[in-house]
Amino acid sequence: MAFADVDPPGMSSANTLMSTLQELGAGLGVATGAVLVALGGPVAGAVGLGGVDGPFRVAFVMLAVILVVPAAEGLRLPRTAGDAVTGRS
């Protein structure tokens, strides 16, 4: 769906941009995970989740809460989204 509106002459540039954005997204994901684990330490102590894995448990829960937003956006897409790319239209 990312390339549905791109003309064939612009496909090379679109591929380059998409690859760059994927790498940036991966880096931001790692950074977000590190921040959530750092924030999870004090939260885990406050709610009584002791042990080494407490901050990680809290970080995974916070990440799940954050990821509800894009999941909801994906569910709101119309059924015909991407038909031009898959050849269904």
pLDDT value, residue 82: 75
Q: pLDDT 10s per residue in the chain (89 long)?
A: 677 778 888 888 999 999 999 999 999 999 999 999 999 999 998 988 878 889 999 999 999 999 999 999 999 988 887 777 777 76
pLDDT value, residue 58: 94
In angstroms, the Cα distances linking 86 to 42, 79, 89 are 47, 12, 8
pLDDT value, residue 89: 67
